[in-house]
Amino acid sequence: MSELRVVGTSVPRTDAVAKVTGAAVYTVDVTMPDMLHARVLRSDRAHARIDDIDTSAALALPGVVAVVVGSDLSSLFPRFGHIVPDHAILAIDKVRYYGEPVALIVATDLMVAADALSLVDVRYTELPAVLDTDAALADDSALVHETGYSGVSATPVVVSEYSHRNVAHEVERGWGDPDGAFAEAHLVVETRTHHPMLYAYAMEPYNAVARFTDGALEVVSTAQHPFMVARDLARVFSLPLSQVRVTAPYVGGGYGSKSYTKVEPLTAVGAWATGRAVKLVLDVEESIYTTRADSADVVVRTGFAADGTILVRDFELVLDTGAYADNSPLVLDKAVNRCFGPYRIPNLRVRGKAVYTNTSPASSYRGFGAFQGNLAGETNIDQGAERLGIDAAELRRRNLLLRGERLMPGLRGMDADLVADLDLLVDELDAGPAPAGRLRGVGFGCAATDAGAVPSSTALVKMQSDGSIVVLTGSTELGQGSRTVLAQIAAEELGLDMAAVRVLQSDTATTPFERTTGASRTTTLTGLAVQRACADVLARLRTAAAEVWECPVDDVAVRDHSIVAGGRSMSYGETVRAWFGPGGGEVVGQGVVRRAGVLAELPPFWEIGMVGVALDIDPETGQIDVHQLVTVADVGRAINPVLVEGQDLGAATQGLGGALTEQLVYDGSQIVNANMVEYRIPRITDRPRTFTSIVAERGDGIGPHGAKGVGEGARNPLPGAVAAAVARALGVWPDSLPLNPEHVWRLARKGISQRSGT
């Protein structure tokens, strides 16, 4: 391996990022003094031992400052990972998937860094590759990881607690007597489904800027969870958390794909190697190779009584996690929790495996394990209804949990009226005739996910001497509108105009701790922290007024947005100025949310998914047109109804993409559609002819004013709803996605063949 070398630098010139990366607009808009630019050399092998890396030609190129390879990181903790620190910053000893970072080129100019990529010579010895879960789980399979990894040591440790060494995580869940219940069932329905790999396709690709200054590491990034990124970086460089600062400005979309650590260690290593600020921007193809959603193969067996009552369900899930665990162990945990639906199930058995393969790493994706299992579980329910001769909606009504019933032992009881939500959905769906030459199908689905993550949030509200406020929160604005909603909550609590409220977010050095931005938690849990911080501000203002007026605190009240006692009254700003004196000051309130009191039980809330579609199919071409899309957003209280509808439409549209057109396609070791053209996300021309978002407000959430989260619910049951609609139109049940024209055309031919008996 080469030794790390840093060579002389020159003043960089400015070139549009778009010339190299295709990321023209949405990147971190930060320029630091004497900033360098980085590009990543990626492996062109799926599984290979690294024999040698010759960087001399690249280092000789004028403008190249450093070339960093995995062996240069021996003095650091060279791995990262949210659940398991198995992810090498730069490949060490071997590569595990096509596209894995092998070397980091740092140069004075982006174009120079790009030119230097071809000058790094990597010599490999090919190793057998396992490119799908069947190959990975075979008895004689090659091992993606020969060892496991400890979170406290840079040295791998041998682990073998799972059923196969290519299993990254394994979990079982269940209760009752499944085998006995199957023996007594009137009908047993067994189905198999495959959900493909997906890419979240945020508008902004991965990018970051890093520098070391005064012994501290500062990073500006596209991170959804800056505090978790800071923790990973602190471990890499053996720094205390107080010496790591991660800031996330407005992020151009995330959908889970920007959860946890991604490109920040690469960027920080560049800064560590050069002693200068370094910026790294990935292009679309690199972003796709950075993370994706787990694909899933699911086998479901459901035992029904003659009246449609569910007696027992059995699920077996296998997730393709790719080369590194990232967050897939938690995705598997959630998939296991969510696959069997919001139904009363007296006997249950679920077994799940997250499997290492020599493919790009999987991680979080909007819905977080729910949609893969929901496709399997809901289409199985629909086929059970068909065989029992019971209306699919009625079958669900008979089995949906009632308010207060527990889906799983030890978890919070159901906090929604699921039957009422289903009725709202079904009443709105249009099952009318299709246009001439088309076939119409109607499908719908239900889901309830244990949302909100761990209830851990902190917010600060600073009352200024002029009566305006600053809200400080570690939550990240991803385009979901959290900055607006948190400002609304603060303004409502304090009786202020929105113009008097400023929200500052996502800076581990200046904003208070926020564990995560995800799981539809921000309005509910961060909003609760803001609400409590506002109450703390008012309490402190009352105390300050009592000292100024020299009266008991109990005599001081808040009335009509003023501090009053007897016949005396001061505005908030006047109270601050009176207590501090002529120089002015500020009063700071803190709001803390933790797993205690009303939040002691998990999940903090159940996020409900109720969606339905009516679609028209051209049997000659397989083309699907979505005639109608209906969602029910059971949000407890809509703090901002327009944003609620936008979140529901966005989630459902993303679900339509996954159901109808999207999938990452591997040809051997390489993704063949890792680009903006062949990976087909929904376009404006794909929009449903009509969209209805029904907002159900019953004030039954634990958040501000009874709010519950929204943002993932409509995503989760969409694939199953589309599959059911296609099946009802064609008479054939699909068992895999996407339902693109070719797939639907083949299903139509199969349906015709079955009906004709040929």
Residue type, 146: E
- CB contact set of 286 (below 8 Å; sequence gap of 6+): 40, 42, 99, 205, 206
CA distances (Å), origin 697, targets 338, 402, 487, 647, 701: 24, 17, 21, 16, 9
**Cα–Cα distance, 411 to 417 (Å, whole number):** 17
Residue 21 — φ and ψ, nearest 5°? -100, -20
- Residue 42: count of CB within 10 angstroms of its CB: 18
**Is 411 in contact with 602 (CB distance < 8 Å)?**
yes
Greatest alpha-carbon span in the chain? 94
Report the SS3 class of residue 100: coil
Please report the DSSP string for 78-90 in residue order: -EE-SSS--EESS
The answer to whether the CB of 577 falls within 8 A of the CB of 592 is no
User: Residue type at 363?
Assistant: S
**Beta bridge partners of residue 37, listed in sequence order:** 107, 279
Residue of 598, 600, 627, 597 lying closest to 615 (CA atoms): 627
Distance CA 47, CA 470 (A): 51
Alpha helices in 99-168 (DSSP H): 110-117, 133-137
* Cα–Cα dist 345/314, whole Å: 10
Catalytic residue among 378, 645, 712, 742: 712
Could you write out the DSSP letters of every residue in 299-366?
EEEEEE-TTS-EEEEEEEEEEEEESS-TTHHHHHHHHHHHTT-SB--SEEEEEEEEEE-SSPPEE--T
The span from the CA of 432 to the CA of 337, in Å, is: 36
* H, E, C per residue of 21-49: HCCCCCCCCCCCCCCEEEEEEECCCCCEE
d(CA 42, CA 280): 14
Burial zone of 750 (CB within 10 Å; 0-12 exposed, 13-18 middle, 19+ buried): middle
Alpha-carbon span 101 to 360, nearest angstrom? 11
Dihedral sign, CA of 366, 370, 371, 373? Answer: positive
Active site residue 316: no
Q: What strand order describes the sheet that includes 457-463?
A: 501-505, 469-473, 457-463, 587-593
Residues designated as active site: 712
